[in-house]
Structure formats: structure tokens, C-alpha cells
Amino acid sequence: MSQGKQGDFKQLLRELTEVAGPPGHEGPVRELMGSWARGAADEVTSDRLGAMIARKGETGPRVMVAGHLDEVGFMVTRITEEGFLRFQPLGGWWSQVVSAQRVEVVTDKGPLVGVIGSKPPHLLSPEQRKKAVPMDELFIDVGAEDREDAEQMGIQPGDVVVPYSPFTEMANPKHWLAKGMDNRMGCAVAVEVLRRLRDVDHPNTVYGVGTVMEEVGRRGAFTATAAVQPDIGFAVDVGIAGDTPGGNKDQAPGRLGEGPQLVLYDAGHIPHRGLARLIQDTAADEGIPLQHEWIARGATDASHIHLYDQGVPTVSVGVPARYIHSHTSIIHQDDVEGLVNLLVAVIRRLDQEKVDELVRG
């Protein structure tokens, strides 16, 4: 990317990550993603569950580039008499990374900052201290005096909660830290691919898509795919970086700064062999370093995209991220730029003849 495009993309990602949008409550993210996509798309629409669907082109194979709008979060289930909030996780959380973290409670009156509390370690037995505090023993403290005070603040059961973690350029400015990288990164890439292809002559209709409720079973991928009716699918999501202390290259080989990732296997999808080979060949031809990932206990929207109608050749691609499904994650600028360049180059190689060849196998 040029310096100008880098700045635009970083601002796009900054804005997307700082918006609250856990599963089932993606509306503000959808509106923001759509506002960025409108300048590059012929049409921006939605499905009935709230996906963002931006279309560029009218003829040729339909190519779907999809990130998911939602992030892991929580939902308020009850306000205690003392004014503390009990909550239900939205998405996969490990309780060990939750306690003592700042959060934002989204109310009809506006956002409130709180902190996730637990029983102090001084009151735990030696055996209890060795274990992560169970999620159902945690609570959110918003500084309320009692239940009535919390209700006066605007809090009610069903309000959603997200991590409080603003986008930050680290000391090494190519390392970007924020909440919601999973998967505002994929949404930003989908928009950037549309923008990069805006003035490029190619024979495809490209859809930049933000799906909903991926973190609670990839539900929105069903409806968004039905709306797009793609011939080719790319699910764009973060992978797991294994380049931190204790990392295992046999389980998580991804390293920040060494290029985008192609997912070879996950629990819901095996990539289309021909399309995966096209990704690999294009990366080699374009000089884009490519990493490979496999996810034994997890899946992406590709698991549902590839099953639409009689089947859609689909691959899952992304970038490695440190500390996913926590209050903050880190990704690398070079990996994201490589991913955008790779998707643009692959789409330029697609046409009806190539799609027919891929379908024939």
C-alpha cells in the first residue's frame, strides 16, 4: 500500500475496533463499515439478520470476501441488590483473562465504564488460588451504590458489554493493538479489497461482506451467503499466533510479520483444493510471503459459506493475532497489507472460465 492508503486503512481499522458490536448487536459496526464501503461499491445492502453487503459490479462470477462484524463480549443478565451486574458471555471466553479488566456497558443512555470483579485472592484458599475463577462467579462493577442507582444509570438486563481497549500503535508502529481485531480486521480487509479494485478492470462482481453472530456459531454466514449467492468464497478472519513464550509451532505456527495465512483445515471446513492452490501460486508469483494454519478446535464462516446451494469453492484466509478472545489482541501491519494484496491479485485472476475450472476440480 502507498503511505496514503496505509493511513486510510489504519483509520478504518481504528474506527471499526473502537465500536461496540458483540453478537446480535452489530448494528453500529454495520453502519460504520457500510459508510466506508459506499465510496467503492455500486450498492450497499443488508440481509434480515443485519449483515453488511457491499457490491461492486453486475456481471461475471460472484466473489464473496467476508469478515464478521461481531466481537466477543458479554450480556447483562441481572442487577444485584448491591448494584453489581451479573453477565452471560457472548462468544468463547477463557475466564482467566477476564477478571479485573475494564469494560464498556452499552446502555440506551450511552456507554458506561466498569470493571470485571471477583472475590479477592486474600479470601481464597491456597487451592482456590491455583485455579481460574469460574465465569459465573464474576461480576461487573460500574460504581453503582445499589440496584436503583444502576437502573438510574440506564442499565437493564439485556444490555451488552464489550472490552474497553482503544486502538493503539505500539512502540514498534507496525504492531497494532486493540479489542475486536477478531474480526474487525476481516471487515476492514473486505472494504479495502473493494477500494483497491474500484478502478481495476476485471470480469467479476465482488461482494465485501460483514456477517453477524460468527462468535456464537457462525449463524450470520448462512443468511449473508444466501443473499450474495456466491460462486467463490473467501472467509477472512484472524488466526492464532504461536510466536509468544510457550507457543507450539506444531499447534500454532503463525508468526507476526511473516505474512498472511491460508487455513489448511478447521473443525468446520477443508479448503477447496483448487482455490487453495490458486492462493499459494498467486502468493508465490506476487512475492507475498504466505503462512499456513490449521485449527483443530475452531472454525470460521467458511464452514457455512462453502455449503451454500450445491457448494461454493471457499477458502479461509487471514493474519496471525496474539491473544485473541481476550480484551486486546495484536496484529502486524505487514501481514494485513500482504493479505489485501493477495486477495486483490487472486480476484484479478478469476473469470468465468477459471471458476468453471475450479468447480470441475
> For residue 271, is pLDDT > 70?
yes
| 235 and 325, same domain (yes or no) | yes
> For residue 191, is pLDDT > 50?
yes
Domain boundary among 136, 163, 190: 163
Closest CA to 262 of 275, 249, 248: 275
Please indicate, yes or no, if residue 356 is contained in any of the structural domains: yes
> For residue 132, is pLDDT > 90?
no
The reply, when asked if residue 325 is annotated as ligand binding, is yes
CATH number at residue 200: 3.40.630.10
Domain boundary among 163, 189, 220: 163
Averaged pLDDT, 42-69: 98
| 350 and 229, same domain (yes or no) | yes
| 245 and 278, same domain (yes or no) | yes
> For residue 1, is pLDDT > 70?
no
Say how far apart CA 188 and CA 208 lie, in whole Å. Answer: 9
| 23 and 140, same domain (yes or no) | no
Lowest average pLDDT, out of 7-21, 121-135, 161-175, goes to 121-135
Say how far apart CA 290 and CA 279 lie, in whole Å. Answer: 9
Closest CA to 166 of 334, 330, 328: 328
Say how far apart CA 226 and CA 47 lie, in whole Å. Answer: 9
The reply, when asked if residue 25 is annotated as ligand binding, is no
Averaged pLDDT, 55-70: 97
Is the distance from CB of 177 to CB of 170 less than 8 angstroms? yes
Say how far apart CA 208 and CA 66 lie, in whole Å. Answer: 6
The reply, when asked if residue 146 is annotated as ligand binding, is no
Q: Cell for 257? A: 510479520
Side-chain half-sphere CA neighbours of 99 within 13 A? 15
Averaged pLDDT, 120-124: 79
Omega before 183 cis (within 30°)?
yes
Lowest average pLDDT, out of 25-39, 125-139, 275-289, goes to 125-139
In this prediction, residue 294 carries a pLDDT of 93
Q: How far apart, in Å, are the Cα atoms of 262 and each of 104, 106, 234, 253, 292?
A: 34, 35, 10, 12, 5
Confidence of residue 182 (pLDDT cuts 50, 70, 90): very high
Rounded to the nearest 5°, which phi and psi values hold at 220? Answer: -70, -15
The reply, when asked if residue 243 is annotated as ligand binding, is no
In this prediction, residue 4 carries a pLDDT of 45
| 60 and 88, same domain (yes or no) | no
Question: Any idea what DSSP says for residue 325?
Answer: S
In this prediction, residue 257 carries a pLDDT of 98
SS3 158: coil
In this prediction, residue 3 carries a pLDDT of 42
Question: Any idea what DSSP says for residue 241?
Answer: B
Q: Of residues 102 and 125, which shows the higher confidence score?
A: 102
> For residue 291, is pLDDT > 50?
yes
Q: How far apart, in Å, are the Cα atoms of 334 and each of 4, 114, 172, 174, 337?
A: 15, 34, 12, 7, 5
Averaged pLDDT, 261-275: 96
Residue-averaged pLDDT of the chain: 95
Q: Cell for 286? A: 506476487
Confidence of residue 7 (pLDDT cuts 50, 70, 90): low
Highest mean pLDDT among 113-127, 172-186, 242-256: 172-186
Which amino acid, 161? V
Which residues constitute the domain of residue 114? 74-163
Q: What is the pLDDT of residues 215-242, one digit of tens each?
A: 999 999 999 999 999 999 999 999 999 9
Strands 139-141 and 110-117, sheet pairing: antiparallel
| 131 and 260, same domain (yes or no) | no
| 343 and 259, same domain (yes or no) | yes
Say how far apart CA 145 and CA 164 lie, in whole Å. Answer: 22
Please indicate, yes or no, if residue 53 is contained in any of the structural domains: yes
| 123 and 241, same domain (yes or no) | no
In this prediction, residue 129 carries a pLDDT of 80
In this prediction, residue 92 carries a pLDDT of 94
How many Å separate Cα 262 from the centre of its chain? Answer: 16
Please indicate, yes or no, if residue 173 is contained in any of the structural domains: no
Please indicate, yes or no, if residue 174 is contained in any of the structural domains: no
| 65 and 80, same domain (yes or no) | no
| 105 and 199, same domain (yes or no) | no
> For residue 2, is pLDDT > 60?
no
Specify the number of domains making up the chain. 2
Which amino acid, 186? G
CATH number at residue 108: 2.40.30.40
Q: Write down the catalytic residue from 26, 71, 192, 214.
A: 214
Alpha helices (runs of H) in the chain, residue ranges in sequence order: 3-18, 27-37, 126-129, 147-152, 181-197, 219-228, 273-286, 302-305, 333-349, 352-360
> For residue 311, is pLDDT > 80?
yes
Domain boundary among 163, 187, 206: 163
Which amino acid, 250? D
71 is catalytic: no
Left (φ > 0), alpha (ψ -120 to 50) or beta: where does 213 sit?
Answer: left
SS3 262: strand
Averaged pLDDT, 339-347: 98
Please indicate, yes or no, if residue 97 is contained in any of the structural domains: yes
Please indicate, yes or no, if residue 170 is contained in any of the structural domains: no
| 66 and 80, same domain (yes or no) | no
Predicted TM-score of the model (pTM): 0.95
In this prediction, residue 297 carries a pLDDT of 85
Please indicate, yes or no, if residue 169 is contained in any of the structural domains: no
Please indicate, yes or no, if residue 34 is contained in any of the structural domains: yes
The reply, when asked if residue 215 is annotated as ligand binding, is yes
Residues in the chain: 361
Confidence of residue 193 (pLDDT cuts 50, 70, 90): very high
Closest CA to 73 of 118, 156, 150, 140: 140
Averaged pLDDT, 298-318: 97
| 14 and 82, same domain (yes or no) | no
